[in-house]
Amino acid sequence: MSPKRSNGGQKSNGGQKGSGAGEATEALTARARQWPCLRQFAVFLENRVGRLHDLLRHFEGHEIRVVALSIANSVDCAFVRIMVNDADRGREILKLSNFPFAEIDLIGVELPDGQQPFVQICLALLQAELNVHYTYPLLYHRSGRGAIALYVDDVDLALKTLEEKGLNIVTESDLLMDDDMF
């Protein structure tokens, strides 16, 4: 028999015979809505007039809100870093629309109170000897605070460090619930 979980559900034993026994099983994954990382899609686009509009229109047509956008372009192509309020639906739309993309884990952090909130976040990461590769603002606002997305060397260590310093992490479920803030 499978070990009991603290929430009363049972861990699945991989579909072995006799595993059902009429009891509900819980489908646990490493990446649920409370997963502490946010998903960024890095989308490759030809550097042509209207391609960015085409990409954004696909999300808008499905009532998915873009919460972050950054573009790095060259003569021939552009890489669009985009985050949406529902990563699962965003992934589905990108696949169905045949946009080439990759997924990257980022950390979302609420800006703390104070005169220098970015310094406070960067100091915490510096003390853990973590590099910040890039950051950009999130269209997120809760309790009078904004938030940023960070791409760092070690996501697990960064999450642990930021939480130990008392900083609030923004999860995927936070982005879904943020609709009433605008």
The pLDDT tens digits of the residues spanning 37-90 come to 899 999 999 988 999 999 999 998 888 999 999 998 888 899 999 999 999 999
Token digits of residue 27? 């489908």
Q: Give the model confidence (pLDDT) of 128-164 as tens digits.
A: 999 999 999 998 877 778 899 999 999 999 999 999 9
For the chain, what is the largest distance between any 2 Cα atoms, rounded to a whole number of angstroms? 61
DSSP one-letter code for 178: G
What is the helix (H) or strand (E) element at residue 88, kind and residue range?
helix 87-96
d(CA 112, CA 20): 47
Which domains are assigned to the chain? 37-104 (3.30.2130.10), 106-181 (3.30.70.260)
Please say whether the beta carbons of 80 and 42 come within 8 A.
yes
Whole-model pTM? 0.74
Q: Which 3 state secondary structure label does DSSP give 28?
A: coil
178 — pLDDT class (breaks 50, 70, 90)? low
Closest CA to 86 of 28, 33, 30: 33
pLDDT tens digits for range 6-16:
333 333 344 44
B/e letters for 48-81, b = 16+ CB within 10 Å, e = fewer, are eeebbeebeebbeeeebbebbbbeeeeeeebebb
For position 163, what pLDDT does the model report?
Answer: 95
Start-to-end CA span in the chain (Å)? 48
